């Protein structure tokens, strides 16, 4: 019974992985082209996209690893599983970088302006990738015991207070910032809220599963947490969209036009 249930959850995970791949491949391809163009044209006053680009690179690595998992290439499956979790941890680090960058731009503009260079951003990215690799190698040598589960859960739990701090500090600073346009305020707050929302929905179940012994071996919860982790690249696409200037306003404008169009249609539509 348990083996059948486990096989069913595994098959469901494969289906979710396929759906994630099919819905994000074209989007990621277009974003990758745009990100490459932005990276080639980046200047000292346009450093922020570097963190987004690295976040998308980590997402693309996860997608490639999911392809191997879906087609069941057993020879490469273990190696790509390791690479997947390294990229997953790197994506967590770059989500923190994106939130931190938004906070520093608003709360400490003068301090950040003189330290906002391509060199510093590249150094931060190298540190994030290196720490992700070192952390996973360290956990791997501990042979995946209860200690490793706790360490991994603590690693995933650490960004939560940072995201809340960045959001609270940014909202507080924006309330006193008269010179910042209203559309820019909405865009910045939307990015930070989306980061916190994505992290809460996709990573919190895994954290709870790793920390609470009573539910750690529950197949249903393990399947849910596994699926949510696989959906993180798809969620990061929305983070990229909301981080672009004017994206929130265009979205709100299109929604308002759609609502207005429906109301006009209902007013002119003959009843009965």
Task: Report pLDDT for 135.
Answer: 83
DSSP code, position 270? P
Task: Report pLDDT for 237.
Answer: 76
Q: Is the pLDDT of residue 105 over 50?
A: yes
Percentage of the chain beyond pLDDT 90 is 16
For range 3-29, the mean pLDDT:
53
Task: Report pLDDT for 255.
Answer: 44
Give the CA distances from residue 241 to residues 110, 156, 246, 265, 270, in Å, rounded to whole numbers and listed in that order.
27, 24, 10, 30, 39
> Who contacts 191 (Cβ-Cβ below 8 Å, separation ≥6)?
98, 99, 102, 239, 242, 243
Report which listed range, 128-132, 170-174, 202-206, is most confident.
Answer: 128-132
Mean pLDDT of the residues in the chain: 74
Please tell me which residue, 89 or 258, carries the higher pLDDT value: 89
> Who contacts 53 (Cβ-Cβ below 8 Å, separation ≥6)?
35, 38, 39
Task: Report pLDDT for 144.
Answer: 62
CA gap 178, 188 in Å, rounded: 15
Give the CA distances from residue 106 to residues 49, 161, 175, 194, 210, in Å, rounded to whole numbers and listed in that order.
17, 19, 10, 17, 36
For range 243-258, the mean pLDDT:
51
Please tell me which residue, 146 or 77, carries the higher pLDDT value: 146
Residue 94's closest CA among 68, 139, 61?
61
Asked if residues 65 and 86 have their Cβ atoms less than 8 Å apart, the reply is: no
> Who contacts 71 (Cβ-Cβ below 8 Å, separation ≥6)?
none
Q: All domains of the chain, ordered by start, with CATH? A: 1-243 (1.20.1070.10)
């Amino acid at each position: 019974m348990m083996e059948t249930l486990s096989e069913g959850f595994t098959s469901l995970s494969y289906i979710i992985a396929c759906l994630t791949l099919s819905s994000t491949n074209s989007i990621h391809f277009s974003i990758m082209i745009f990100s490459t163009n932005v990276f080639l044209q980046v200047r000292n006053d346009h450093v922020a996209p570097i963190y987004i680009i690295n976040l998308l690179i980590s997402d693309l690595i996860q997608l490639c690893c999911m392809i191997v998992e879906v087609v069941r290439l057993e020879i490469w499956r273990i190696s790509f599983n390791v690479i997947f979790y390294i990229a997953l941890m790197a994506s967590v680090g770059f989500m923190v970088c994106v939130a931190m960058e938004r906070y520093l731009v608003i709360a400490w503009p003068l301090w950040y302006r003189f330290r906002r260079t391509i060199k510093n951003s590249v150094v931060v990215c190298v540190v994030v990738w290196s720490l992700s690799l070192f952390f996973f190698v360290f956990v791997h040598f501990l042979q995946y015991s209860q200690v490793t589960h706790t360490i991994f859960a603590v690693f995933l739990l650490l960004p939560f207070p940072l995201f809340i701090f960045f959001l609270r500090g940014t909202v507080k600073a924006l309330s006193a910032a008269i010179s910042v346009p209203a559309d820019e305020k909405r865009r910045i707050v939307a990015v930070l809220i989306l980061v916190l929302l994505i992290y809460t929905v996709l990573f919190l179940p895994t954290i709870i599963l790793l920390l609470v012994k009573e539910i750690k071996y529950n197949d249903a919860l393990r399947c849910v947490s596994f699926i949510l982790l696989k959906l993180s690249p798809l969620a990061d696409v929305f983070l990229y969209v909301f981080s672009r200037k004017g994206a929130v306003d265009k979205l709100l404008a299109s929604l308002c036009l759609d609502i207005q169009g429906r109301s006009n249609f209902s007013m002119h539509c003959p009843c009965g």
